């Protein structure tokens, strides 16, 4: 059987317009993991996908739903799907493998019955997909089973921490971070976090908060994104102590996370933050000074902590 390869426009012409608004695949080859971001037009299909993909197993290790955006953590590799007896009456859907092929990522999906529409027509027509490969005779919907190989650009996660862009009289670092995410022409802006730090430190503005933003970005765009971020923060800063930090990867190292959490209650010296950054692959860039280094490093350390990033230890006792 001869496989058929279609571009997103060709899939849309064949099936009609469907509902996937964004689809990014980020890899962390050093840790053997990946993350897939799938943005849907409605929450219901994403909820259904989570339940069915979890039931099928495969390479997905964890899933989360933020609004209408489905976040899937996976391993890089292959693992057999197990749809189970429910497939006879309910259908099913799952991710069987993810492989890195140069500057591309190939994901292999399988679907049964109506579930095959999502992986056979909906995701493949998203503008972020390069192409989709189908076996000869591929059909979606009804009682059919289907396999699709979706090829996307290889991307990585870049997290940029920012601190000390403001003074007691002017500015707000979290606003600078949000504007950076919105205005950056490189990569895909993913998320923005405000990190509450120790309110008892002597050198602070009112709230003592740092911020960080993350992007899905192609590796060849990383230098351009960093250069844009530095210039942007310099332009937006009211302070002579503005610092940005840069971390690439999907897994925040434990010692970096521990530093971020303890910076909510401990008063650190700049040298402490510099040492933690050096040990964990965090790049420190002085934009207008170096005073913000503690907060900018801690903001990356707390980036994946959810609500804990925004609070202090007393909030979670």
Same domain, 148 and 8: yes
Looking at residue 112, what is its pLDDT?
76
Residue 191 CA to residue 263 CA, distance in Å, equals 22
Over range 236-249, report the average pLDDT.
96
Return the closest-CA partner of residue 124 out of 267, 19, 231. 19
Q: What is the pLDDT of residue 233?
A: 97
Instruction: Read off the pLDDT band of 144 (50, 70, 90).
Output: low
pLDDT tens for residues 272-315?
999 999 999 999 999 999 999 999 999 999 999 999 999 999 99
Residue 170 neighbours by CB under 8 Å, 6+ apart: 238
Assess whether 237 and 296 both reside in one domain: yes
CA angle, residues 236, 237, 239, in degrees to nearest 5 = 170
Query: Is the domain of 93 the same as that of 182?
Result: no
Does residue 221 sit in the same domain as residue 250?
yes
Residue 4 to residue 215: CA distance in whole angstroms: 32
pLDDT of 86 above 60: no
**Are 168 and 260 in the same domain?**
yes
User: Is there a single domain that holds both residue 236 and residue 309?
Assistant: yes
Cβ contacts of 314 within 8 Å, gap of 6 or more: none
Residue 225 neighbours by CB under 8 Å, 6+ apart: 158, 184, 186, 187, 215, 217
Number of domains in the chain: 2
DSSP 272: H
Instruction: Tell whether 55 and 175 lie within a shared domain.
Output: no
Whether this prediction's pTM lies above 0.85 is answered by yes
105 shares its domain with 241: no
Question: Do 150 and 8 have their domain in common?
Answer: yes
pLDDT for position 211: 97
- Does 143 share its domain with 180? no
Q: Which of 120, 155, 190 is the last residue of a domain?
A: 155
- Looking at the fold, whether 307 and 260 belong to one and the same domain comes out as yes
Reply yes or no on whether the pLDDT at 145 is more than 80: no
Where does a domain end: 155, 184, 199? 155
**Same-domain pairing of 290 and 149:** no
Containing structural domain, residue 276 = 164-316
pLDDT of residue 55 exceeding 60, the answer is yes
What are the percentages of helix, strand and coil residues in the chain, rounded to 5?
Answer: 35, 35, 35
């Amino acid at each position: 059987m001869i496989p058929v390869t279609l571009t997103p426009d060709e899939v849309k012409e064949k099936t009609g317009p469907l509902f996937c608004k964004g689809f990014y695949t980020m890899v962390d080859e050093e840790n053997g993991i990946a993350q897939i971001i799938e943005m849907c037009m409605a929450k219901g299909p994403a909820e259904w996908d989570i339940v069915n993909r979890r039931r099928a197993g495969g390479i997905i290790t964890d899933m989360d739903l933020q609004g209408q955006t489905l976040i899937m953590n996976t391993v890089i590799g292959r693992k057999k799907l197990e749809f189970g007896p429910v497939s006879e009456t309910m259908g099913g859907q799952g991710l069987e493998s993810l492989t890195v092929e140069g500057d591309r990522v190939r994901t292999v999906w399988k679907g049964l019955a109506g579930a095959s529409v999502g992986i056979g027509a909906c995701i493949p027509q998203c503008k972020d997909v390069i192409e989709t490969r189908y076996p000869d005779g591929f059909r979606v919907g009804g009682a059919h089973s289907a396999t699709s190989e979706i090829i996307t650009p290889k991307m990585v996660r870049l997290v940029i921490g920012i601190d000390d862009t403001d003074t007691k009289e002017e500015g707000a670092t979290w606003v600078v971070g949000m504007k950076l995410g919105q205005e950056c022409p490189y990569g895909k802006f993913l998320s923005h976090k405000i990190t509450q730090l120790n309110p008892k430190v002597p050198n602070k503005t009112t709230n003592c908060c740092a911020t960080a933003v993350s992007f899905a970005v192609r590796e060849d765009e990383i230098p351009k994104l960093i250069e844009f971020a530095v210039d942007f923060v310099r332009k937006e800063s009211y302070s002579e102590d503005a610092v940005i930090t840069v971390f690439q990867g999907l897994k925040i190292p434990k010692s970096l996370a521990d530093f971020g959490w303890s910076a909510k209650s401990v008063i650190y010296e700049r040298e402490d933050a510099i040492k933690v950054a050096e040990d964990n692959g965090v790049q420190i860039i002085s934009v207008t000074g170096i005073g913000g280094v503690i907060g900018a490093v801690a903001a990356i350390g707390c980036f994946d902590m959810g609500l804990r990033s925004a609070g202090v230890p007393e909030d979670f006792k």
